[in-house]
Amino acid sequence: MSGELSGVRVMATKDTGGGQQKATRSTEEVEEQSQDAQAAEDLKERQEKLSDDVDSVLDEIDDVLEENAEDFVRSFVQKGGQ
């Protein structure tokens, strides 16, 4: 009977080891998901900042064109013709 108990203990040890690996794997998955979420948030913030910068530049160009459209076109034609 002691042989059977020994066998049971080996099985219990293997099951526990597998459970620990699964728990570790779950922890790693959670950490990876957390890192992915943080990276996505950083990317979203960067995209919003770039979008704001582009809008600012376009607004500035629009203002210049409203004030000096004729001069802008003349200088553009001269530069393009050179």
Highest mean pLDDT range out of 2-6, 11-15, 25-29, 55-59?
Answer: 55-59
**How many helices and strands, by DSSP H and E, does the chain display?**
1, 0
Whether the pTM exceeds 0.75: the reply is: no
The alpha carbon of 58 is separated from its chain's Cα centroid by a whole number of angstroms, namely 26
Residue 42, SS3 per DSSP: helix
Domain ranges for the chain = 1-82
Place 26 in a pLDDT band, splitting at 50, 70 and 90: confident
Task: Kindly list the distances between the CA atom of residue 57 and the CA atoms of 51, 62, 64, 69, 78, in Å, as whole numbers in the listed order.
Answer: 10, 9, 11, 16, 23
Task: Kindly list the distances between the CA atom of residue 47 and the CA atoms of 28, 50, 79, in Å, as whole numbers in the listed order.
Answer: 28, 5, 33
